[in-house]
Structure 1
Amino acid sequence: MSRLYTVSITALLGLLASAPAQADVVLPRILGHNMVLQRNKPLPIWGTATPGEAVTVQFGRQQQRTTTDAAGHWQVTLQPLTASAKPAELVITGRNTIRLHDILVGEVWLASGQSNMEYTMRKNSKVTIPATEDASPLTELDRAHNPAIRIFLVNRKELVKPEPQHKGWSIAQDSALRSFSAPAYFFAKELYDHLKVPIGVISSAIPGSRIEPWIAEEAFAQDPYYASQKVDGDPGKFYEPMIRPLAPLALRGFLWYQGESNCFLSETTSYTHKLNTLIGNWRTAWHDPTLPFYYVQLAPFKYSESKDTKVPLNRETLPRFREAQEAVLQTPHTGLIVTTDLVTKLDDIHPPYKWKIGRRLAWLALADTYKQKSVAAAGPVFDQLQMKGATVVISYKPLKSRLISNDGQPLTDFEVAGSDGVFRPAQARIKGKRVLVSAPEVPQPLAVRFGWDEVAKPNLFSKAGLPARPFRTSTSATGTTTATTEAGK
């Protein structure tokens, strides 16, 4: 072998070693077979491949081309599509070709939180409710087989890893549905019943989780509010593997059912700020400051009787936390559902009726996002009050139906206080669109509160069947009485 030949072989081997390895086109796990694409929005499709590789994405009559960057990342954006329940194929071509089959176009939502959002359809089938209640949702697993409802369950250990088989999403039925979030499924079912378009819902929830792990660390670092305090709770722990990899998937909005773990810490204004931080963080990740965010106000529970808590708790811990949740409604494109009626046992942190949670969240979306004026999304919400001698006249924000006592009994859980600031039980009755409240022990009432106890299950409802939101008022020096929240104190 000549010296020249030996040198040439050595040079060639060195060149091959320094050349980038050829890599197949790889998609994130959220892009897979059976998925639903969000209608009427630009549609990002993204992944990785060899740096500098040409990638083509085709769906229907659309075809987009791009070249991967130096790190091997690529992304194209398909033009908005109209809803379609006809299965189609999404084809991604580079060095290899990926064909995602049975793709629909409709509405896509992301559901997240802790155990009450994670609460599975399997558990839903085993709950006990009063014999007077409609039990048909308990057997939903036996009937569910609508191919237009698709589900994706996030696995915190797998979402960040590539999925060569692209198994993707599932039709909401059988074993896949058994392990899926009951609130998220019933939300999707209610949306479908009204919209009649394909619905895709993603569940990304962890039992027992506080809010901090669902927020990116940089979101805390960029907010001066947190500069003077140590933020514990493992910021970013779940955001990084379970939320960030989902962006920038086009979706309609977010659902959130969380708070029990932070309520056990007796949080108030700090939780308001954290939830606002989360909302801003997620909207930034999706490059859309208007994405709807609908969430669940916590249900009655005996927090004050819990043992081994890190901080002292009392019967006002939950009402104050709910007040902190309500304060987030000042952020645009948010909505809240009330759950004071959705418990059977006051020592159960996981109340049943997850189908009602899902439906009420869906009614918020239908009324606020989809502008369906016929849908009642909220029960009575305090507006203002007037003092008329010994009687307090409470007005509520406009309702689509009248005020009622849902059990036909006198109204419960109203209290009034005079100049001594001591709240006493009050009698209350409905008069048209108002509620009249008084107490013999308080001849000159100055403030009112309603449902202000961790175990309160008030019977003031709208005729549409939705409970009134708990509240309390305060009186200013000028005598003007308004609602107050922890966030405003």
Structure 2
Amino acid sequence: MTIRLHFSAPLLLLPGLLFVAPPAGADVELPAVIADHMVLQQELDAPIWGSAAPGEAVRVRADWLTEEVTTEADADGNWMVRLRTPEAGGPHSITITGGNTITLEDVMIGEVWICSGQSNMEFAVESTGPGYPGVDNYLLDIGSADFPDIRLFNVANSVALEPRTDCTGTWARCSPDTVRGFSAVAYFFGREIHFETGVPIGLIGSNWGGTPAEAWTSAEFLGAMPDFADGLARVAEARTEAADIEERQQTALAAWWAGLAQKDAGSQPGQWMSAEFADEAWDEMVLPVKWEDTELGDFDGIVWFRKAVEIPAAWAGRDLVLELGPIDDMDTTWFNGARIGGFEEAGYWTTERRYTIPASAVKPGRNVIAVRAFDSGGAGGLWGDAQQLTLAPSDADGEEAVPLAGPWRYRPGAALSDLPPWPSVSRPDQNSPTTLFNGMIAPLIPFAIRGAIWYQGESNRSRAHQYRTLFPTMIHSWRAAWGQGDFPFYFVQIAPFGYGGDEGQAAELREAQLMTLAVKNTGMAVTMDIGNADDIHPTNKHDVGKRLALWALAKTYGREDLVYSGPIYRSHAVEGAAIRMSFAHVGGGLVAEGGELTHFTIAGSDQVFVPARAVIDGDTIVVASDTVPHPIAVRYGWGPADAPNLFNAAGLPASSFRTDAWPGLTQPR
């Protein structure tokens, strides 16, 4: 039995596929990020680049320029020109001519921002599955998201061992349909900038949940940190053995799926995928739904779904497109007994399934769709929105799609406990040094940008002291790669959360982020007041985006009237049995939200911190405790889930901080 595996975003990119020169006579091609509906950064020399036959003359004409720009593809088939962009506006068109002609339409000129990080940046406006419930009142945000001058580009998850030259993604106008799955923090940031500046905004989302900062850092800069020497060596070794690693992984996966027939009766040839199979005795489930919310409960393993559909006579002999929405975790899908697609490797539980049914398999009347869903833990099943489940001709011209939401017949095939262990071949992944810079940042360079916003840090919490160096190194690596100088880089300090066993690691990570403000042209949005002790993914992303936008509006767009930061600890002095602290960014005065100040602790020479009284005195705070007559140090908001209440008069919260420099838990001994 031959198993064909489908990967929309390969976990391992072979070096041989990275830089392939186009053959003689090849068409002019553009990277995904240069396309219809894009936003180009205003008032600078914006790169436009691509590939063509080596030596081919390439002409680029923008409708706002009086003359076209010409160049010639180099020996590897690569070419690039720079177009001087005007003030914000549009729409514009750009025509690229070589052996063929490409015309880019609906191009806007405005402000472009990279929006990157891990799961809290990935967190979409709408619910996308377990642990990602969507933002507060997301239906209102989606319904009002009619902003055609805000453009969205989402980079598909991709790991690479060397810097890639292209990625998967498309530009789209912001609308209720396009915003629902986009980064909420990025959207609310961009929407605020759009409201305040009135110019088109381009938001490029490049994020992956659960990933560490070293994965997003270039090899050139990460190589200066000895801590990552072993990880970089493993990536380098994998580059030389990539073909062998990939072959072993694919062989192991194919063997695992082929062996299912021994455990799952439905997987035997001619069984539950067959159009002729009698499924009248099966139970029914209304899809889409997470099957944990049905009588299946917490079942993990394989569940089969079948649905008979009536195909109009006019559809016979035409390719059809089957859309099933996202499936958690994996699937194999058949149409009339013929396999038409599947995602048969972990990591694609949020990926929408879209399979083409060849015309040869389509007949008028009754046809049968069969889906084998495999859930390896947590929620499972076809869990998207009802409108995501459809069947229609690929060349449909005004024809209504057949809706597939509703009752499907289902039957469990095999419990997870009865299946062999999932095959795994050791290889670099999304947590390995440089792999996401290579796969998800490098393909965007040198696209002209105004700056970047970043929300990450949770995955580096146990190595917070290292993050003091790693995070600035990552920022410098991006700036060096883009070659646009010290562009604005605004980031989110991680929110309070009840990490199990945390004894200060989260506070030390927040401290490392606070220290990163020493890097030129950076800013930090504090979230001490909008975390969730029980959920690492707080649903208030509106204020996160707005606070990032305050930094951008004040520091990048010249809004000097705005208070853009909450109080930041500056200095302290011991005054007898008390410690007095002063702050920057008091924003009209310090405020204890809701009453007395909370979450201050104080310690003497024994370094044992106890709860303390804290009182605002002008633009300073005085802290003391009767049990510490000779205080040395104060800490604020140092617990992992602390939600303290120090703000400035502008309503922005203070960062957690400490006045001491005693060795932390994450500092190497």
TM over 0.5: yes
1:479 corresponds to: none
Matches within 5 A, 1:108-187: 108-123=112-127, 139-156=140-157, 168-187=170-189
Return the match for 2:30 from 27, 32, 54.
27
Contact 2:151–2:172 (8 Å) recurs in 1? yes
Amino acid in structure 2 at the alignment position of 1:152? F
2:293 corresponds to: none
Aligned pair count? 444
Residue 445 of structure 1 and its aligned partner are, at CA, apart by 1.5
| CA shift in 2, pair 1:207/1:23, >3 Å | same
2:652 counterpart SS class:
coil
Amino acid in structure 1 at the alignment position of 2:603? A
Matches within 5 A, 1:31-430: 31-59=34-62, 60-61=64-65, 62-84=67-89, 86-123=90-127, 139-156=140-157, 168-221=170-223, 223=224, 225-226=226-227, 230=231, 233-263=431-461, 266-303=462-499, 305=500, 313-343=501-531, 345-407=532-594, 409-430=595-616
Residue 260 of structure 1 and its aligned partner are, at CA, apart by 1.1
Listed one character per residue, the Cα deviations across residues 352-377 of structure 1 (whole Å, up to 9, x for unaligned) are 11111111111111111122111211
2:463 counterpart SS class:
coil
Contact 2:127–2:134 (8 Å) recurs in 1? no
Listed one character per residue, the Cα deviations across residues 247-294 of structure 1 (whole Å, up to 9, x for unaligned) are 00000111111111121xx11221222212211111111012311111
Listed one character per residue, the Cα deviations across residues 93-125 of structure 1 (whole Å, up to 9, x for unaligned) are 111111111111110000111111010111299
Contact 2:228–2:433 (8 Å) recurs in 1? no
Separation in structure 2 between the aligned mates of residue 49 and residue 447 of structure 1, nearest angstrom: 64
| CA shift in 2, pair 1:292/1:322, >3 Å | same
Separation in structure 1 between the aligned mates of residue 176 and residue 665 of structure 2, nearest angstrom: 44
Residue 80 of structure 1 and its aligned partner are, at CA, apart by 3.7
Residue 220 of structure 1 and its aligned partner are, at CA, apart by 2.2
Unpaired stretches in structure 2, ≥5 consecutive residues: 1-21, 235-430
Amino acid in structure 2 at the alignment position of 1:367? A
2:53 counterpart SS class:
coil
Contact 1:137–1:355 (8 Å) recurs in 2? no
Listed one character per residue, the Cα deviations across residues 190-216 of structure 1 (whole Å, up to 9, x for unaligned) are 101111111110001111112222122
Separation in structure 2 between the aligned mates of residue 136 and residue 39 of structure 1, nearest angstrom: 34
Separation in structure 1 between the aligned mates of residue 463 and residue 117 of structure 2, nearest angstrom: 17
1:404 counterpart SS class:
strand
2:372 corresponds to: none
Separation in structure 1 between the aligned mates of residue 166 and residue 213 of structure 2, nearest angstrom: 27
Separation in structure 2 between the aligned mates of residue 324 and residue 348 of structure 1, nearest angstrom: 22
Instruction: Give the number of the structure whose residues are more often strand, by fraction.
Output: 2
Identity %: 40
Amino acid in structure 1 at the alignment position of 2:30? L
Listed one character per residue, the Cα deviations across residues 393-436 of structure 1 (whole Å, up to 9, x for unaligned) are 211114332111222x1100111112222211111121221112
Separation in structure 2 between the aligned mates of residue 128 and residue 411 of structure 1, nearest angstrom: 32
Separation in structure 1 between the aligned mates of residue 502 and residue 640 of structure 2, nearest angstrom: 8
1:356 counterpart SS class:
helix
Unpaired stretches in structure 1, ≥5 consecutive residues: 1-18, 130-134, 306-312, 477-482
Separation in structure 2 between the aligned mates of residue 488 and residue 360 of structure 1, nearest angstrom: 34
Which one has more relative contact order, counting CA pairs under 8 Å at least 6 apart?
A: 2
| CA shift in 2, pair 1:371/1:244, >3 Å | same
1:291 counterpart SS class:
coil
| CA shift in 2, pair 1:224/1:257, >3 Å | closer
| CA shift in 2, pair 1:224/1:369, >3 Å | same
| CA shift in 2, pair 1:475/1:78, >3 Å | closer
Contact 1:111–1:255 (8 Å) recurs in 2? yes
Return the match for 1:437 from 623, 636, 646.
623
Contact 1:214–1:278 (8 Å) recurs in 2? yes
Residue 243 of structure 1 and its aligned partner are, at CA, apart by 0.8
